[in-house]
Structure formats: structure tokens, C-alpha cells
């Protein structure tokens, strides 16, 4: 797979390095910028970062694998994060996640984030989303949904289907397969 960094982005990162006493200190900023641009951090992005900053790839991989905000796989167009911490768990977040997984044909027992094969949805169980008083809570891309009912979860799937271009598809018709598989 070819990997190329747009010239303006590379220029921005080159300039960024000059703000730090040692190149290595710019590692996290590089990773944030590359993830923002590509949507995730591929092996090529990690190796490119290491080369740029005079590091070994393992020095960059240890950052990518340590911090939960970094992703090594591309996400679906609609990213559903379901809170699994106590308040939300007691309010039924496990059932919500099961519903999302069932409707999308994903494994509800998997630990890692799961993405539908068509790239439309990613479903992930996460820790507290800081809205415990209105559990159960889910984050859909940048939008926080509070006191989520099963009917609202169904609507979220339909909206996600629309966002990824399947308006009027199976999700909008209430079938058990909004990913269109
Ligand atoms: S426990 Fe779910 S938002 Fe805090």
C-alpha cells in the first residue's frame, strides 16, 4: 500500500518540530495530526513518524498502543461508543450494546471495537463518558445521547445508515440489518 503525506501537512509537522528542544517530544502531536488526517494510525504512519523524529518504530508503537485515543484500524462512518461503567451498566447499556451488535451482525462478546464489513458502523464499549447522571449514555461520533432507550438506539442506527448513504435502505425500513449487509 502506498503511503503519502500531503505536502502542507508535512510542512506543518516539520515546523512543529522546531518548537521542541528534542524531536522526540513532538511524537504525540505527530500522531494526533496523522490520525486526524487519515482517520487511524497505519503501520506506515507509525514508521513515517519514527523516521521523521529519528526514533525506532517501537518507540512510536508504544505510544500508539498505550493511549486509548489512538486507533490502529479505520473506523466506520458512524462510530457508536456505549458507556459500560457502573451507572450506565445498571441502566441497561449492556442491552443497548447487544442491540447494536445484533442489528449490525457483530459479535456482542468481543472486547475490541468492531466495524461492519461495509465500513458504515463501528460499535465500541468504553469507560465513563462523564454524564453518569443521565445513564445510559452513548456517544455517536461527536454527539452525546443521554437516557438512551432501545427505540432511540434504533433511530440512531437509521440515522447512521442515512449518513453513510443508505437512505431508504434496510435500516430506514426497520429491518434487522441497518448496515445493509
Ligand atoms: S457511567 Fe456512563 S457516563 Fe459515567
CA of 76 from ligand 1 middle (Å) equals 23
Ligand 1 lining (C-beta closer than 6 Å): 83, 85-88, 128-132, 135, 137
Q: Spell out the long-range contacts of 66-69 with Cβ–Cβ below 8 A and sequence spacing 24 or more.
A: 67/28
The per-residue pLDDT for 3 is: 81
The Cα 154–Cα 142 span in angstroms is 18
Q: How many angstroms does the Cα of residue 71 sit away from the middle of ligand 1?
A: 22
Distance 114 CA to ligand 1 centre (A): 21
pLDDT tens track for 11-37: 999 999 999 999 999 999 999 999 999
| 3 within 8 A of 44, measured Cβ to Cβ | yes
Q: Which one has a higher pLDDT value, 84 or 163?
A: 84
Mean pLDDT value across the chain: 88
pLDDT digit string, tens, across residues 122-159: 999 999 999 999 999 999 988 999 999 999 999 988 98
CA of 65 to the centre of ligand 1 (A): 24
Question: What average pLDDT score do residues 51-56 get?
Answer: 97
CATH architecture of the region 78-163: 3-Layer(aba) Sandwich (3.40)
Among positive and negative, which fits the CA dihedral 134, 155, 104, 79? negative
pLDDT at residue 177, rounded to an integer: 47
Please state the domain extents for the chain: 7-66, 78-163
Report the candidate in 92, 97, 102 with the shortest Cα–Cα distance to residue 80: 97
pTM of the shown model: 0.71
Of 82, 126, 131, 139, which is best to mutate to test ligand 1, by the most ligand atoms within 8 angstroms of its C-beta? 131
Which CATH code for domain 7-66? Answer: 1.10.10
Q: pLDDT tier at 169 (50, 70, 90 boundaries)?
A: very low
Q: How confident is the model at residue 61 (pLDDT cuts 50, 70, 90)?
A: very high
Of residues 176 and 139, the one with the higher pLDDT is 139
Residues 104-110: contacts with CB under 8 Å, at least 24 apart: 104/157, 104/177, 104/178, 104/179, 105/177, 105/179, 105/181
**122 contacts 78 by C-beta, under 8 angstroms:** yes
Amino acid at each position: 500500500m502506498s503511503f503519502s503525506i500531503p505536502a502542507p501537512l508535512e510542512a506543518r509537522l516539520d515546523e512543529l518540530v522546531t518548537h521542541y528542544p528534542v524531536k522526540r517530544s513532538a511524537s504525540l502531536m505527530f500522531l494526533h495530526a496523522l490520525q486526524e488526517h487519515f482517520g487511524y494510525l497505519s503501520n506506515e504512519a507509525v514508521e513515517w513518524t519514527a523516521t521523521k523524529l529519528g526514533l525506532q518504530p517501537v518507540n512510536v508503537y508504544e505510544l500508539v498502543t498505550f493511549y486509548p485515543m489512538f486507533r490502529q484500524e479505520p473506523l466506520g462512518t458512524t462510530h457508536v461508543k456505549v458507556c459500560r461503567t457502573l451507572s450506565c451498566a445498571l441502566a441497561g447499556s449492556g442491552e443497548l450494546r447487544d442491540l447494536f451488535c445484533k442489528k449490525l451482525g457483530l459479535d456482542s462478546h468481543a472486547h475490541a471495537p468492531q466495524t461492519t464489513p461495509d465500513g458504515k458502523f463501528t460499535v465500541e464499549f468504553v469507560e465513563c463518558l462523564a454524564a453518569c447522571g443521565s445513564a445510559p449514555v452513548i456517544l455517536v461520533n461527536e454527539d452525546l445521547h443521554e437516557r438512551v432507550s432501545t427505540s432511540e438506539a434504533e433511530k440512531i442506527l437509521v440515522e447512521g445508515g442515512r449518513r453513510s448513504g443508505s437512505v431508504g435502505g434496510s435500516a430506514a425500513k426497520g429491518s434487522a440489518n441497518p448496515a445493509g449487509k
